[in-house]
């Protein structure tokens, strides 16, 4: 697999990529990384430097962001790929499908920012953007 190849194809969007491939694409300018987590998640848990914040849903209540489409179109230049990041790689699938419906070449970032739960119900211990040691900042 070349560094600029998705890990897997997917139904309803272009495919899934690892956090490492997403970082490579973002750094090379091959794609725009869009963080679809809530404002609270980014503020309290951390964020990726250079990522564009476009919430899929908002806290409290996890209500759909009525401006998602417009904000995403503003964030991603025509012809660019978009990488979608959430907490665990689930909301970002829905966002990638919507981005595809909007005509974008959209990819889900596997594992998300915090990763999957371990046996003790904790995130950030077995997978995720931070666990892989990729750049991030707090607050």
Q: Residue 122: what pLDDT?
A: 84
Alpha carbon distance 130, 60 (integer Å): 25
Residue 13 tokens read as 């969007």
Alpha carbon distance 75, 25 (integer Å): 16
Domains of the chain (ranges, CATH numbers)? 13-109 (3.40.250.10)
**Residue 121 neighbours by CB under 8 Å, 6+ apart:** none
Q: What percent of the chain has pLDDT over 70?
A: 94
pLDDT tens digits, one per residue of 16-70: 999 999 999 999 999 999 999 999 999 999 999 999 999 999 888 889 999 999 9
CB distance 40 to 58 below 8 Å: no
Write down the number of H helices and E strands in the chain: 4, 8
67-93 burial: b if 16+ Cβ within 10 Å, else e: ebeebbeebbeeeebbbbbbbbbebbb
């Amino acid at each position: 697999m070349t560094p600029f190849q998705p890990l897997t194809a997917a139904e309803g969007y272009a495919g899934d990529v690892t956090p490492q491939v997403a970082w490579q694409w973002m750094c090379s300018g091959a794609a725009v990384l869009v963080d679809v987590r809530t404002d609270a998640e980014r503020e309290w848990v951390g964020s990726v430097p250079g990522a564009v914040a476009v919430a899929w849903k908002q806290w409290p209540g996890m209500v759909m962001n009525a401006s998602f489409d417009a904000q995403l179109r503003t964030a991603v230049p025509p012809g660019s790929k978009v990488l979608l990041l959430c907490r665990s790689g689930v909301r970002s699938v829905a966002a990638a499908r919507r981005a595809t419906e909007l005509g974008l070449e959209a990819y889900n970032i596997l594992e998300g920012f915090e990763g999957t739960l371990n046996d003790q119900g904790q995130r950030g211990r077995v997978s995720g953007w931070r666990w892989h040691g990729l750049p991030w900042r707090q607050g």
